Amino acid sequence: MLENPKINIKIKLAALWASVTFCYLYGDYFELYTPEKINSLITGKNVLDSPTKLLIATLILAIPSVMVAASIILKPKINRILNILFGSLSTLMMLFIAINSLVAWYSFYVFLAVLESLITFLIVWYAFKWPKQQS
C-alpha cells in the first residue's frame, strides 16, 4: 500500500492559489492568439486603456500570487479569513467573467474561468473547514 501523508492546510491552500495563478497566466497568454488582440494592444484600444484600469487589474491579479506565500506565512486566524474573503471574491469574479465570455473565440477563457471558480471554491471550503488545534 502506498503512503498518503496528511497535507498541512497551509500547503493545500498555497498549492490551490498557485494553480489559480497559473490559470490566470495561461488565460492571458492564450488571449493573445484571439483575433485583433495584438492590434488592440498596439493601438491602445483595449479593456486596459488607462493607467487606472491597468493598476486595478494588476491589484486584482496580484492577490492570488501573494496568497501563495500568505497561505504559508500567516497565522491561522488571519490566514483563514483572507482565504475565505479572497477565495469568495475570486470565485464570484471568475463566474462573472465566464458568463460574459460566452463566444466561440473565448471558449478557452470560459473553461479557465470555470476551472478557477472551482479551485477558488475549494480554497474557501478548505479555509472554512480549517482543522482545529488538538488540546
Local confidence pLDDT in tens for the 135 residues of the chain: 999 999 999 999 999 999 999 999 999 999 999 998 999 888 988 888 889 999 999 999 999 999 999 999 999 999 999 999 999 999 999 999 889 888 888 999 999 999 999 999 999 999 999 999 887
For the chain, where are the alpha helices, taking DSSP H only? 9-31, 37-43, 51-73, 76-99, 107-128
Task: Kindly report the number of other CB atoms within 10 A of residue 15's CB atom.
Answer: 14
